Amino acid sequence: SKERAVFHFHYACLFAFYRIMNDSTLPLNTKSSGGKEKQPRRVKGAGVRRGFGLHDWMRLKSTAKDLAQRQGRPLRPITIEEVNEHSSVHNGWIVLHGKVYNITPYLHYHPGGLDILKSSLGKDCTVLFEKYHRWVNVEGLIGSLLLGTLEVDKGSIGHKEDDDGFQIPAPRTTPF
C-alpha cells in the first residue's frame, strides 16, 4: 500500500541518517602514522539488547496502538509538577520543546541505553536533548508518545541540570 511504501521510505532515510551520525558505524582507522597496523579500538555496546534497535522501535511504533497510554483521552495541558511525579522507568515522562511525552515504551530502545535516560525522567530535558540530539526529528521518533503540552508559568522551560561540562554548540550561521 502507499502508506507502507511511505513508511519504508521514511524509515530508510532515518536509518541512513542515523548511521551517518553514529560514529560507531564509521570504519576505524587502523594505520598509525608510522605505517604499522594497530588494533582497532573496541567499543563496548551501549546496552541495547537484541530486538530493541531503531528498526524494532520503528516497527513497534507503526503497529502498536496507544503507545502513549492516553486511553482515548485528548492531548491536554500538563504542569511540570505532574511531569515530576512520573520519574520511574515504569512510568517515565519527559518534556521536550514544551511538549510532554510518556517515553516509558521507548526507554529500552534508546541507542544510548536505559541508564542514560533515567536521570531525565520526570524533567524538562530540552537543554540536554538539544546538546546531544538536536539533529533528531523528535516528532518522527517519539511523536506517538505525546501526552500534551507543558502548562507554562514564567521561568519553567528548560531545566538547568546540565552539569556534564560540555557546552551547547552555537547554531549554524551559514548555509550548508
pLDDT digits (tens, 9 = 90+) for 80-99: 999 999 999 999 999 999 99
pTM of the model: 0.63
Q: Which CATH superfamily is domain 2-150 in?
A: Cytochrome b5-like heme/steroid binding domain (3.10.120.10)
- C-alpha cell read off for 54: 531503531
Q: Which of 7, 113, 110 is nearest to 59 (CA)?
A: 7
Residue 137 CA to residue 149 CA, distance in Å, equals 18
Q: What is the dihedral of CA 116, 22, 126, 9, to 10 degrees?
A: -120
Domain ranges of the chain: 2-150
pLDDT digits (tens, 9 = 90+) for 25-70: 333 344 445 555 555 444 455 556 888 989 999 999 999 999 999 9
Angle at Cα 128 formed by Cα 126 and Cα 134, nearest 5°? 75
